[in-house]
Structures are given as structure tokens and as C-alpha cells.
């Protein structure tokens, strides 16, 4: 039996030989993308920001990046800040923790209310003070940034997200097929009721 997960804690094939890593993007993919970017920009260290929430079916991609970067020594992590977004509503002290000598802040999109988190972290102010904000998206950028476009633009946030070619065409075709199936089921149910 093969168990498939996207949790980097169990990526050691010697200890967990039946685990297959999967996902549209993995922590490893993002770690390499970040490494390439910070090498190109000659950045020495980063601050990682993630949600504290995790469960059986949800694992923070930024927590995975942190583990992968430490394990492979890809780049230096100055701080790894885990945020409980419900506590963030009450307290803005966390925003001050982001103001360090490290000017690159990487934030995951795994928050329930990403817009509120970005506002409370004062990313626009951080950007004005020459901090580079990178948002890690598990989904394509159009979906990930749909509700926060103005924050992304105002804070000049760099988005790292998977690319899915012809996403809109595929979404439209899928929508058409699902609507067709739903209409067919409704029509079938109506005919059964008419017969009875």
C-alpha cells in the first residue's frame, strides 16, 4: 500500500519507504525557486512567515520550505515566524517582529483570511521601508491573489506560484461539463417524477 502525502517531515525514504510526495508544487520546488531568486539578487538571509494551523490534510508550505532549506542548507533563515491569525486580529506586535536586518520576508498563503493577515503585518509599510515581500502560493496566482490584488500591487509583492498553462480554458471546459452533467441529472429526475 502506498500512502501519498505532501508533508516534508516524512520525506526520508529510508524511514518511510511507502510515502510518495505529491502536489502541484512541493516545498522542494519552492525552496529551489527561492534559492535561485535570492542568489540572483545576492540576498544572504530571509524571514519566513507561516500559519500555525496544521492538520492531517493541511500542512503549511512555508513550514515545508523551512525544513527543506535547513536540511539542504539552501539559504539562511534568519527567523521562522508562525502566526495564529486569530491572535493577530488582537495584537500587532508580530508586525514589529518582521522589522529585522533581513530585508526579505517570505509569507505563505495558508491563512484563512490572507488579506487581514497582510494588512495586520503592515506589508505596505514594510515595502515602503524597502523590505521585499514574497508571497508563496499553492495555487495559481490568479486564484491566490484574487481577493488581495490591491495589497499585492500597493506592497509590490512578488508572487511565487505554480504555472498551469491554459488554466482558464480548462476551467471553462470543466465548468461546461459539470453544468451539462447537472442539467442531465435534473432532467432525468424530472422525467422520473413525471412518470410516477
- Do 180 and 109 reside in the same domain of the chain? no
Burial 84-123 (b: 16+ CB within 10 A, else e): ebeebeeeeebbeebeeebbbbbbbbbbeebeebbebbbb
- Do 84 and 144 reside in the same domain of the chain? yes
CB 113 within 8 A of CB 89: no
pLDDT category, 114, cuts 50, 70, 90?
Answer: confident
- Do 149 and 179 reside in the same domain of the chain? no
- Do 151 and 170 reside in the same domain of the chain? no
For the question of whether the overall pTM of this predicted structure is more than 0.75, the answer is: no
Q: Distances from the Cα of 90 to the Cαs of 85, 93, 117, 138, in angstroms?
A: 9, 9, 11, 27
Helix and strand numbers (H, E) in the chain are 9, 7
- Do 111 and 191 reside in the same domain of the chain? no
pLDDT over 60 (residue 155): yes
pLDDT category, 58, cuts 50, 70, 90?
Answer: low
Number of domains the chain is built from: 2
d(CA 95, CA 97): 5
pLDDT: is 31 or 187 the higher one?
31
- Do 196 and 134 reside in the same domain of the chain? no
pLDDT at 106: 92
Range of the domain at 118: 3-164
Looking at 90-145, list the stretches that DSSP marks H as alpha helix, in order from N- to C-terminal side. Answer: 93-97, 114-120, 123-128, 141-144
For 163-191, write each residue's pLDDT tens digit. Answer: 766 666 766 777 776 665 444 444 444 54
d(CA 104, CA 58): 25
Q: Compute the average pLDDT of residues 147-176.
A: 78
pLDDT at 44: 87
Amino acid at each position: 500500500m502506498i500512502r501519498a502525502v505532501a508533508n516534508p517531515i516524512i520525506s526520508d525514504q529510508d524511514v518511510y519507504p511507502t510515502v510518495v510526495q505529491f502536489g502541484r508544487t512541493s516545498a522542494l520546488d519552492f525552496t529551489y525557486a527561492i534559492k535561485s531568486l535570492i542568489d540572483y539578487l545576492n540576498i544572504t538571509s530571509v524571514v519566513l512567515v507561516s500559519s500555525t494551523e496544521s492538520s492531517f490534510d493541511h500542512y503549511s508550505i512555508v513550514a515545508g520550505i523551512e525544513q527543506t532549506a535547513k536540511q539542504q542548507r539552501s539559504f539562511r533563515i534568519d527567523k521562522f515566524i508562525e502566526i495564529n491569525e486569530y491572535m493577530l486580529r488582537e495584537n500587532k506586535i508580530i508586525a514589529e517582529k518582521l522589522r529585522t536586518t533581513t530585508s526579505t520576508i517570505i509569507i505563505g498563503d495558508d491563512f484563512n483570511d490572507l488579506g487581514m493577515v497582510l494588512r495586520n503585518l503592515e506589508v505596505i509599510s514594510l515595502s515602503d521601508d524597502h523590505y521585499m515581500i514574497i508571497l508563496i502560493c499553492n495555487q495559481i496566482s490568479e486564484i491566490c491573489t484574487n481577493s488581495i490584488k490591491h495589497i499585492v500591487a500597493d506592497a509590490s509583492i512578488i508572487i511565487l506560484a505554480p504555472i498551469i498553462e491554459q488554466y482558464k480554458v480548462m476551467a471553462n471546459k470543466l465548468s461546461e461539463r459539470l453544468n451539462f452533467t447537472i442539467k442531465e441529472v435534473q432532467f432525468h429526475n424530472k422525467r422520473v417524477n413525471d412518470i410516477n
